Amino acid sequence: MRVVVPVSGSDPKTRLSPVLSPDERREFTEAMLADVLRALDAAGHDPEVVSTAPIDCDAPVTVDDRGLDALVNDLLSAGPLTVVMADLPLVTAETVERLFAPDADVVLAPGLGGGTNAFVCRHPDFRVDYHGASIRDHRRIAAETGADLAEVDSRLLATDIDEPADLAEVLLHGDGAAGEWLADAGFELAFDGGRVGVERE
């Protein structure tokens, strides 16, 4: 099965702009991507990266500036496909194996906040509609196409790093390149009585 990791390579992770400069957002994106590729590789897959701009990583890269829906739906029309987002630095080989375990036409991995962090598709008619609460749209599309559906209940796969507060999850649980990058950049956990946050030296 083809395993694709889409990456926004030119101006990634704009929601992290309050805490990271444009160059830092690109570097941090590469670090998260390295963690995702390492997990896929350790689970026995040969991931390909499709990025909107050239990006440094340990996998074949295709540069394609289409938006997510146009890109992924084109790939889906060519046959079975797995998509794993690039902003999931907590993903491990074991969680990747859980994504591939169900023998369903479509397997969805929901993300925090309503997105779809990964999917496996073995059905010819399933298509994606990202953004907004895409997990709901993808459940609906799977039902409309008659595909049988499974979902993976995994905190590690669900934790996409979108907003500054999400960086705490990487410092708390990440043991790869993204956590190392944040520590080198001076990020630390911050405790102020509510959920643990981050602060920068």
Ligand X SMILES: C[C@H](OP(=O)(O)O)C(=O)O
Residues engaged in binding ligand X (CB under 6 A): 68, 111, 113, 115-116, 130-131, 134, 160, 162
User: CA 94 to CA 127: how far, in whole Å?
Assistant: 26
Among ligand X, ligand GTP, none, partner that 52 touches (CB below 5 to 8 angstroms by kind): ligand GTP
8 is a contact residue toward ligand GTP (CB under 6 A): yes
Which one, 73 or 188, has the nearer CB to ligand X?
73
Among ligand X, ligand GTP, none, partner that 89 touches (CB below 5 to 8 angstroms by kind): none
Q: Report whether 95 contacts 85 (CB < 8 A).
A: no
- Strand 116-121 versus strand 81-84 pairing type: antiparallel
14 is a contact residue toward ligand GTP (CB under 6 A): yes
The count of chain residues that interact with ligand GTP, using the rule CB under 6 A, is 18
Residue 184 token pair: 């080198």
Q: Report whether 181 contacts 167 (CB < 8 A).
A: no
- Cα–Cα distance list, 119 to 34, 83, 156 (Å): 19, 5, 14
Residue 98 token pair: 């859980």
7 is a contact residue toward ligand GTP (CB under 6 A): yes
Residues that bind ligand GTP (CB under 6 A): 6-8, 12-15, 50-52, 67-68, 71, 85-87, 160, 162
